[in-house]
Chains A and B, each alone.
Chain A
Amino acid sequence: MIAALALLGWLALADAGAEEAVPPTPPAAPAPAAEGTNRARAKAEHAQAMAALRAGRIDDAAGLFGQAVAHDPSSAPYATDWGFALAKLGRRAEAEAALRQAIDKEPKRFYAYVNLADLLASDPARWERRDAIVASLEKGLEALKDDRKGRFNLLLALAGFERAVGRTVEARARLAPLLETAGPPLSRLQRKRVLDLLDGIAVDERARSLEDWPAPAPELARGLRDEARAAEGAGRVDDAIRNLEIAVNLAPSDAEAWRALGRLLAANGGALEIDRADDALRNALALEPAWSDLRELRAQIARRRRTAAEPAAAPHAPPPSDKARALYQEAEDWIDVGDPIGMGRELLEQALADSPAFVPAALSLYALAGSVPDPTVAALQDDGPGLWALASGVRKLGAAGKASSGDPEAMDRLIRPWIDRAVVLDVQEARFARATARAAAGDRSGALADLVAYLAREPAPAHLAEARALRSGLAGEAGEPSHDGRLPPQLVARIRLVEDRPDAALRALGGACASGLPAERLVALGLVQEFADQRSAARACYELGAAGGDRTALRRLSGLDARLPDAELQSADRRLIDRGAASGIGAAMWARARLERRAGQDDAALADARAALAAAGDGTPADGWIGSARASERELADGRRASQAARRARQQRAGVLAGALALLLLLALARRRWGGSTVAAALRRHPELFPEVARAIAELRHDVLKHRATALGALAEPHTELADVRRAMTEPHPTSQVVAGLYEKVVQAARGAGVTLKPLAREPVFGRLAADLARAEQRLARPGAPANTELLAIDARLRGEHADRLAALLELAPRTRLDAAVLSSWISGVEAATRRAGLAWTPPGLSLADLQLDFPVGEAALAAIFANLLRNAEAAVADQPESRVVVRLDREQDVTGRPLVTLFVGDSAARAPTLEAIEARESGRGLAIVRDAVRQWRGHLVVRAEPAPLAKLIGASFPS
């Protein structure tokens, strides 16, 4: 029979229309004929129908099947096949009627049951009819209790129907005994069918559990997640878990909620919650494999039973009074016997008059009278459970045909306000019932709103699986992908990951990554590889996706790169890392920062690390690199600060050194510019410099002032040739240079005495003189008429202040005053030295013309002159008897009018040296020294004969 052949393909062809099961319209009634003839014709028509069906001409097949039924109405197989064909054509109501006729004709034949179950599994009205359908199919099972094969097939069909209405638990419970060893043995094929169906049910449950509910479910989930976080912070862990359970039901793709739930359960749950915690963590990891910390948690999770607070007790109407209860009981007794005199109804009305909110009484009255008293409805207005009990009871009565009024629409109009009010009063069952009613009425958005509200109300609602299945059906009706056995590969992969089967997930996605695959598939494969901790394989997938420009792949790749070990990161595609960084992906910036740091580019690494942290903000738990980035940023920043500090220290040291050098240079320049002594100061401290200074001044007066600079004064005369003046001032050498040369001699002499004189420009006598001369020379050198006034002013200064300054310097000539005391002291010194040398000593006599005389000679020089003269005299008389030595001071005036002072030492030795001998250094070393010293001080030696007992005087004479 074709029904068996079509079992597996039926669901795919089922229509979604909701129709009443009406009897099919058979073809034209057969003409009266012999029963055998009709059966023969029916048989032929059935054969033709089968051929048409095989040829895909279903319409023809349905017509021929109908003719066969018309010619042989007693044939259950013909009716079954007719129903099948009608179902394939989408004529659901006719198909159902045909199949039910087949069942009626032959109740122990299973084909019609199976086809009917399959037909109803796709019936849009199955949600409303599910209880009745299951009940009728269970009758079929009873009818087939002796047909093992038929019972098996119907059992699978019934489980399939239950799967279709979300009763997966019941379906699984129905199938499980088939696999028990104690049960009847199954063929391999049968066993496979059971296992396939169980797997399908599991996938359904998974798929439904992973689909997000529509808005406002995601917002509600996020709100609940936030509340959970707050509750956890406040120590209300159970409330946090409760909120998270609801959140994951509302938004199963909310990885954060799964993570938080698993973490909370693992940390706070007891042993009984291990499975739930692990499930939550697997869901979290399936969504975000990068959460490696969750893997560790999976080993230590514990489960804690939720002790969610029950919803606040809704207000209830006052319970029925004892009187009302008694009246109700009496009424039921009358009703049980058929209420022959109407007492049951009267007693019920009395009971309700006493206690209007007495729901059982109201239901009984509805069963009898088809109405509910208004006071009852009013009394239950704020009693949600009571109102729902009334509404559900009325609906069951109506559905069961017990009510007086058989009009379903009238019943629906009656109970709808009550259900709405019960929903307002937060009755979950009412909410779910309204959702199913709305779904049946085609109000998709209303149904989904109710379902979302239903799930949002408690963590484990009684109809969770049914709600998921109903949602799936609603999605399918809206043209979205629905459960049709062909789930998207990504969803299947996610399911397999939740099952901890990454290999199966990879197979679901088609295996390994390869170029040409869609980016979405590559990312999914990468996620699976990440889940399995296969980083290289994951990176290959992401790189393929990112290379194609997919931003999700680029983001995943960046996140993975950020977590790679250094060595592995080196082999990453740098271009993609740069692209990620350019796209503002923090993980890519961090990966690049690590590469740069490894390359020693610390500044670039620091900049990228900071940019990465800024881009990531607080990050998510998946951004496990943030901690490392922060630490690295601190290290790099510390290193930079240390480097900068070192550089600053070096710069400071260099600056200090440069400053010190500059200061030294300035000091040297200052010393050179402002240091040193003036000639006057040097003369005061070092009188021995006077002869050199006096010579320089004499030359300066004679050679510069007298013979050359006086030419400037001639400019006052009109006939003076300028060239003559210029020549006088500049030839053979400029007068300023002559002054500089003379001053340099003084400087050298001073240096020999350990004195540093000021530079010429700063020396107040020589410097100013040289400056004025140089100025005059410059004026004379300029073309055109010279500035006579200025030159004459210079001339005046030369002969005025400059001449005065030079004269003042000469006034500093040292004066050594000699008297008896000074000479005695000097004599004692010579005597001591002579005696120490073992030489003879003739005490000299003193012959002082005056008590004291001033010699224009430095004291040291004069003392040296005297000592040499005295030693020479002592030596001269050393071997003579009656020797005499005398020291004499004399003051006289020479023929030129110069006053002279002379220091004589006379002796009695006959031999007297001549000046020529002294000049030729033949008179003994002492006199040569005397001669040089005397000439140095502008004096001259005198050798004079003396009467006996002396023989001669040798003296040093100086102009005073």
Chain B
Amino acid sequence: MKGRRTFAVVEDGSEYIQRFRRFLGESFDFVPAGDFATARAAAGAVEGLLLDLDFRRTPADHLIDEQGQPAAAVDAGTRHRLAETQGILILRRLRAEAIVLPAVLFADLDDRQADFLRRTLAPLAIAPSRLGLREIADLLRAVT
């Protein structure tokens, strides 16, 4: 049996980490990561990555674009477009940097996109919004 696992919670706020700590804190440890940089920094100390999809509250200069580059001076439309898929873009960049930690993406995606992501960003699990805490706990145990 493995010991307590630690996950980096990559989100633009604190809802995930507070919820996980409150209800899953008995079983897991969680560390916050607000953007790609902090996520990459935490990657070495955690057993997995928990990513939100939409980072609309994240300042534009903390966002990265489809090429993994910082998107500091982008127009509002572009920033909006980048923010709404930022979680994927961060994981994609992490994968590009050979960080292959198990990852869970919390997003409601259609099957085709989910399959695409699981295939291109593995190891990745897609956790839709209807997933309960118990299922999430099971998922966290499963992915690590």
Where the two chains meet, the residues of A that have a C-beta atom closer than 8 Å to any C-beta of B are 701-703, 705-708, 710-711, 713-714, 716-717, 719-721, 724, 728, 795, 798-800, 803, 807, 893-899, 914-916, 918-919, 931, 935, 940-941
Contacts and interface: CB of A to CB of B under 8 A. Distances in A.
Contact of A724 (B23, B75, B80): B23
A502 to B, nearest CB: 119
List of 8 A-B pairs having minimum Cβ-Cβ separation, nearest first = A897-B116, A713-B132, A803-B130, A714-B23, A799-B130, A707-B15, A706-B129, A701-B129
Contacts of A935: 77, 80
10 contacts: A703-B15, A707-B19, A710-B131, A710-B133, A710-B136, A711-B133, A716-B134, A895-B66, A915-B78, A919-B77
B19 A710 contact: yes
Contact of A940 (B66, B80, B108, B116): B80
B26 interface: yes
Given A707-B16, A707-B19, A931-B77, A897 B120 contact: yes
Interface string B96-132: 0000000000101000110011001000000001111
A774 to B, nearest CB: 20
B16 to A, nearest CB: 7
A895 B22 contact: no
A729 to B, nearest CB: 12
Contact of A706 (B26, B106, B120): B106
A706 B15 CA distance: 9
B85 interface: yes
Nearest to A711: B23
B interface majority secondary structure:
helix
B76 interface: yes
B108 A701 contact: yes
Contacts of B78: 915, 940
Contacts of A716: 134
Contacts of A919: 75-77
A713 B134 contact: yes
A940 B81 contact: yes
A711 B120 CA distance: 32
A941 B77 contact: yes
Contacts of A703: 15
Interface in B16-66: 16, 19, 22-23, 26, 54, 66
A480 to B, nearest CB: 126
A916 to B, nearest CB: 5
Contacts of A931: 77
Contacts of B129: 701-702, 705-706, 803
A717 B81 CA distance: 39
Contacts of B116: 893, 897
A702 B53 CA distance: 10
B10 interface: no
Interface of B: 15-16, 19, 22-23, 26, 54, 66, 75-78, 80-81, 85, 88-89, 92, 106, 108, 112-113, 116-117, 120, 129-136
Contacts of A896: 85, 88-89, 92, 113, 117
Contacts of B66: 894-895
B133 A713 contact: yes
A916 B75 CA distance: 5
Contacts of B88: 895-897
Nearest to A713: B132
Given A896-B89, A896-B113, A915 B15 contact: no
Given A711-B22, A897-B113, 4 more contacts: A710-B19, A710-B132, A895-B88, A897-B120
B15 to A, nearest CB: 4
A795 B132 contact: yes
Given A803-B129, A899-B112, A935-B80, A728 B19 contact: yes
Contact of A898 (B26, B92, B113, B132): B113
A800 B128 CA distance: 12
Contacts of B117: 896-897
Contacts of A713: 132-135
Contacts of B134: 713-714, 716-717
Contacts of B135: 713
B13 to A, nearest CB: 9
A177 B112 CA distance: 160
B77 A895 contact: no
A897 B133 CA distance: 27
A707 B136 CA distance: 12
Contacts of A897: 88, 112-113, 116-117, 120
A899 B113 CA distance: 8
A709 B85 CA distance: 24
User: Which among B76, B106, B129 has the highest number of chain A CB atoms within 10 Å?
Assistant: B129
Given A897-B113, A897-B120, A719 B26 contact: yes
User: Which among A703, A705, A713 has the highest number of chain B CB atoms within 10 Å?
Assistant: A713
A895 B89 contact: yes
